Amino acid sequence: MSNPELAILMLGLFVFIILLGFPIAFTLMAMGVAFGFYAYYTPGQDFFDNRVYYLLSQNTFSIMNNDVLTAVPLFLFMGYMIERSNILDRLFYSIEVALRKVPGSMAVATLVTCALFATATGIVGAVVTLMGLLALPAMLRAGYDHKLASGVICAGGTLGILIPPSIMLIVYAATSAVSVVKLYAAALLPGFLLAGLYVIYVVVLTTLNPKLAPKLPEAKVKVPLYKVALLLLQAFFPLAILILSVLGAILFGLATPSEAAAIGALGAMVLAVAYRAFSWQRLKEAVFLTARTSAMVCWLFVGSWTFSSVFSYLGGEGLIKEFVMSLDLNTITFLLLSQLIIFILGWPLEWSEIIIIFIPIFLPLLSHFGVDPLFFGVLVALNLQTSFLTPPMAMSAYYLKGIAPKFLHLATIFKGCLPFLSMVFVAMAAIYIFPQLVYWLPEVFYGN
Amino acid sequence: MLNTFLLTIDRFSMAVGHAFAWCILILTLGTSYEVFMRYVLNEPTSWAFDMSYILYGALFIMSGAYALSRNAHVRGDIFYRLMPPRVQGSLELVLYFLFFYPGVTALIIAGYGYATDSFGYKEVSVNSPVGVPIWQLKALIPAAGVMLFIQGIAQVIRCILCIRDGQWPAQLHDVEELETALLQAKRDEADTDAKEGAR
């Protein structure tokens, strides 16, 4: 039954309920069931014979045996284990010492530490708060500019959802049917590009204006080379090797993402043991948090797939397509408009909701505008960095504010985030102008 | 009295969630074992693929009620968090009946039919010749629905207590996200400082 008016009502009602703040997964499920019951109803049918029940159980089960999403709890577990392995302070110290001669050394070290740790854990909030306790006081003591110090922590910590192996890319792959492996290869260079832009920005800024980042005292800079190597060997290399082997196994096709994630989780437990941080209590915490967060992500899928099958059965998808066609957009205006919408959705919503619920609305339009879902995915992944950094709802800034000393105002943190926010847009423009940044690695690894 | 009832349901959901949470450890070790068998001993197992999605599926579907009891399901809280608790409670009370119970009830009905069909012919996986049974995984769908239904009762009681008392009743504590724990520690510290200052 096609009933586009009903589909519009469905979408409108859903947006309204989201704004009321009710758990989204169940709202989607209930609305899918209710509208589906009406849509599939045939007169004289028994209450229990409606096809919506079959649709619901079929959708639920297809999430349960989805071999892409299997990697989600495994990567979460790896992240929660690394979070609890006491590695961060050693990691920060070793990188700080290694980079001591670079202008703005502590800020650059913070960026690198955040990027590496966030890539390994994939949990933004934890990175920002931990670094807020560790790197922020150190930078403030050294007389660093408050805006710069808070900006690097917020921006660096957010990189974890972008740089592979990231959970967000798995979720996008499950939504769009793009291969995870290709998406990882495609997002790698843009991820490094953004991290590189951040570092260049800090180095240039502190070279031009050394007052923002006072040089460290002579005594601290004079560390013998063998000691630097030893420090790096203790913290930087183990974590870097863990990430690289997980990512390498995936990219070279040695293991599926889930298998690589399992090895990564095992490696994280080994790391925790090696740093004498492994305990029954911490293992339990990681296990329970993994269950909770997996339930959050995957139930969102259950609700969303049910909702969207009913929505397109009612003709909602076709209606949106018709509407977008009537706007007479070309590829670039379509991309600009879609990214603007995602940018704005990023204020009130989190990446999981945006990718699982709203990206499916854009996906059927891509082929019409000749946009590769792979390319679109990388653009979205870059764009969602902004949802953590854009006032007034910047989650990263709030995490940092919650942990920072009182004299560091929220406005200062927001101002500190702004230059990094503009780097995100630069990176998005760069991959639009040079699409090879996205396509080159997948082509090298997997041909066309 | 209501409070005891509420916490009993919370504990039940938590116990089931915690039990199924351990699937992740088996999944990690089992998958690592498969990789080891394949590359080191050149003898891939025949059950690893089926095992992986069965454990993953069981893990998330049976943690749904636990996540609900700990308020871990995402919500768009842009306006919600600005409301006073009584308004939050009244609003949620209505929304639980309109936008929670219909879906969850349908899940129980749908899952029950789906699982009994599958059990009827003792369905096995087609992924390997071993024929790993999968009807038990399908049976978890109505089970998860029942868990959510029960946890929903606790959530409704929570709303009623909130409307009565003007604040949300205390939650069970098992484990918090690291950032939540750290931020809470910071707030507690600030509170203590403020008290010391007042003295």
Residue A220 pLDDT exceeds 70:
no
Q: What are the structure tokens assigned to B96, written together?
A: 């639980």
Residue A49 pLDDT exceeds 70:
yes
* Residue B133 bridge partners (DSSP): B124
Looking at residue B80, what is its pLDDT?
A: 85
**Mean pLDDT, residues A117-145 taken together:** 88
Looking at residue A435, what is its pLDDT?
A: 92
More reliable by pLDDT, B51 or A348: B51
Q: Please report where in the chains the tokens 């917020």 appear, as a residue.
A: A154
**Mean pLDDT, residues A279-286 taken together:** 91
- CA-to-CA distance for A111 and A133, rounded, in angstroms? 15
Cβ contacts (< 8 Å) between A407 and chain B: which residues?
Answer: none
- CA-to-CA distance for A55 and A76, rounded, in angstroms? 29
What percent of chain A stands above pLDDT 70? 99
> What ipTM was predicted for this assembly?
0.91
With CA atoms as reference, the chain B residue closest to A64 would be B57
Is B78 close to A300, i.e. CB distance below 8 A? Answer: no
Q: What are the structure tokens assigned to A188, written together?
A: 């790698």
**Mean pLDDT, residues A83-105 taken together:** 88
Cβ contacts (< 8 Å) between B178 and chain A: which residues?
Answer: 83-84, 123, 125-126, 129-130
Q: What are the structure tokens assigned to A229, written together?
A: 């190597």
Residue A340 pLDDT exceeds 80:
yes
Q: Shortest CB distance from A349 goes to which of B76, B101, B179?
A: B76
Q: Which amino acid is at A302?
A: V
Q: Which of A133, A138, A132 is nearest to A151 (CA)?
A: A132
Cβ contact B65:B147 at 8 Å: yes
Main-chain phi, psi angles of A176, to 5 degrees: -105, -5
CB interface of B with A, residues 129-148, below 8 Å? 134, 137-138, 140-141, 148
- For an interface test with A, which of B99, B101, B117 has the most A Cβ atoms less than 10 Å from its Cβ? B99
CB-count burial class (<10 Å; 0-12, 13-18, 19+) for A272 = buried
Per residue, the 3-state secondary structure of chain A, as one string, reads: CCCHHHHHHHHHHHHHHHHHCCCHHHHHHHHHHHHHHHHHCCCCCCHHHCHHHHHHHHHHHHHHCCCCCCHHHHHHHHHHHHHCCCCHHHHHHHHHHHCCCCCCHHHHHHHHHHHHHHHHHCCHHHHHHHHHHHHHHHHHHCCCCHHHHHHHHHHHHHHHHCCCCCHHHHHHHHHHCCCHHHHHHHHHHHHHHHHHHHHHHHHHHHHHCHHHCCCCCHHHHCCCHHHHHHHHHHHHHHHHHHHHHHHHHHHCCCCCHHHHHHHHHHHHHHHHHHCCCCCHHHHHHHHHHHHHHHHHHHHHHHHHHHHHHHHHHCCHHHHHHHHHHHCCCCHHHHHHHHHHHHHHHCCCCCHHHHHHHHHHHHHHHHHHHCCCHHHHHHHHHHHCHHHHHCCCCCHHHHHHHHHCCCCCCHHHHHHHHHHHHHHHHHHHHHHHHCCHHHHHHHHHHHCC
Main-chain phi, psi angles of A402, to 5 degrees: -60, -25
Q: What are the structure tokens assigned to A357, written together?
A: 């619920």
Looking at residue B199, what is its pLDDT?
A: 57
- For an interface test with B, which of A26, A29, A37, A271 has the most B Cβ atoms less than 10 Å from its Cβ? A26
Looking at residue B1, what is its pLDDT?
A: 78
Helix (H), strand (E) at residue B135: helix B135-165
Q: Shortest CB distance from A57 goes to which of B100, B110, B179?
A: B110
Q: A395 and chain B: CB distance < 8 Å anywhere?
A: no
CB interface of B with A, residues 152-171, below 8 Å? none
- For an interface test with B, which of A294, A358, A400 has the most B Cβ atoms less than 10 Å from its Cβ? A294
Residue B81 gets which letter from DSSP?
G
* Residue B124 bridge partners (DSSP): B133
Q: Shortest CB distance from A393 goes to which of B24, B78, B179?
A: B78
- CA-to-CA distance for A97 and A89, rounded, in angstroms? 12
Looking at residue B197, what is its pLDDT?
A: 64
Task: Give residue A322's pLDDT band: very low, low, confident or very high (50, 70, 90).
Answer: confident
- CA-to-CA distance for A198 and A416, rounded, in angstroms? 12
Q: B44 and chain A: CB distance < 8 Å anywhere?
A: no
The string of pLDDT tens digits covering residues A102-122 is: 888 899 999 999 999 988 887
Mean pLDDT over all residues of chain A? 89
Q: What is the CA radius of gyration of chain B?
A: 22
Looking at residue A429, what is its pLDDT?
A: 94
Q: Shortest CB distance from B183 goes to which of A31, A129, A255?
A: A129
Q: Shortest CB distance from A348 goes to which of B63, B78, B103?
A: B78
Q: Which residues of B96-118 are buried (b: 16+ CB within 10 A; e: fewer)?
A: beebbbbbbbbbbbbbbbbbeeb
* pLDDT under 70: residue ranges of chain B: 197-199
**Mean pLDDT, residues A406-414 taken together:** 90
Residue A78 pLDDT exceeds 90:
yes
Q: Which amino acid is at B79?
A: F
Looking at residue A1, what is its pLDDT?
A: 61
For residue A315, CA distances in Å to A321, A373, A444, B16, B185 come to 10, 22, 40, 40, 51
Which has the minimum average pLDDT: A130-139, A223-232, A420-429, B85-94?
A: A223-232
Is A69 close to B56, i.e. CB distance below 8 A? Answer: yes
Q: A60 and chain B: CB distance < 8 Å anywhere?
A: yes
What is the pTM assigned to this prediction? 0.91
Cβ contacts (< 8 Å) between B186 and chain A: which residues?
Answer: 402-403
Q: What are the structure tokens assigned to A360, written together?
A: 């499916």
- CA-to-CA distance for A263 and A38, rounded, in angstroms? 47
CB interface of A with B, residues 166-205, below 8 Å? none
DSSP SS3 for B147: helix
What percent of chain A stands above pLDDT 90? 49
Cβ contacts (< 8 Å) between B140 and chain A: which residues?
Answer: 64
DSSP SS3 for B124: strand
The string of pLDDT tens digits covering residues B143-194 is: 999 999 999 999 999 999 999 998 888 877 777 788 888 888 888 887 777 7
**Mean pLDDT, residues A371-386 taken together:** 93
Task: Give residue A218's pLDDT band: very low, low, confident or very high (50, 70, 90).
Answer: low
Is A53 close to B106, i.e. CB distance below 8 A? Answer: yes
Q: Shortest CB distance from A48 goes to which of B25, B109, B137?
A: B109
Q: Which of A374, A332, A371, A376 is nearest to A358 (CA)?
A: A376
Q: Is the peptide bond before A165 cis (omega within 30 degrees of 0)?
A: yes
Angle at B24 between CA B23 and CA B26, to 5 degrees: 65
Looking at residue A448, what is its pLDDT?
A: 60
